[in-house]
Amino acid sequence: MHHRSGRVTEGEMPARFRFVRWLLAVCIWIPLFAANAQDSKPAYDLQIPQLTVDLALEQLAQQTGTQFLFSYDLVKTLEANPVFGRYTVMDAMDIMLRDTGLSSSETQGGMVTVSQEPSRTGGRRKADHEN
């Protein structure tokens, strides 16, 4: 049946066309949801007190199962910021390494590397807070 406007209503549309329209909608939305799911990283309930960076990274590795690659000589005397709360690994790294002169990045394999920021040297050293 047609209305005065000449349009076919949902109930009048043949089942085959309704199915094709539904299938097209699914084909459009599934990739969008899949992309968002891949972009989201798990969050962890973290409890990492203020420690030297090497020890803080060890704690983060234990609490998340993440592997870290870093130079012990680079981080052994630097003081990391404490991290308490629910964070992704990379958000926790941003907090932990703030004002240390270090930065982190994640490899495609999921390993996190820690290196010296190109424009900075130094950072808060453990000895700076002990005096």
Give tens-digit pLDDT for 14-61: 776 677 666 666 566 566 555 444 457 899 999 999 999 999 999 999
Whichever domain contains 74, its CATH number is 3.55.50.30
State yes or no: pLDDT of 93 exceeds 70.
Answer: yes
Q: Are residues 78 and 48 in the same domain?
A: yes
Residue 85 lies in a domain: yes
**What domain range includes position 19?**
10-39
Q: What is the pLDDT of residue 31?
A: 60
State yes or no: pLDDT of 95 exceeds 80.
Answer: yes
Residue 4 lies in a domain: no
Give me the mean pLDDT over the 102-109 stretch. Answer: 90
Q: Are residues 29 and 65 in the same domain?
A: no
Higher per-residue pLDDT: 9 or 65: 65
Long-range contacts of 126-130 (CB under 8 A, 24+ apart): 126/52, 126/77, 126/78, 126/79, 127/77, 128/79, 129/79
**pTM of the entire predicted model:** 0.63
Higher per-residue pLDDT: 71 or 130: 71
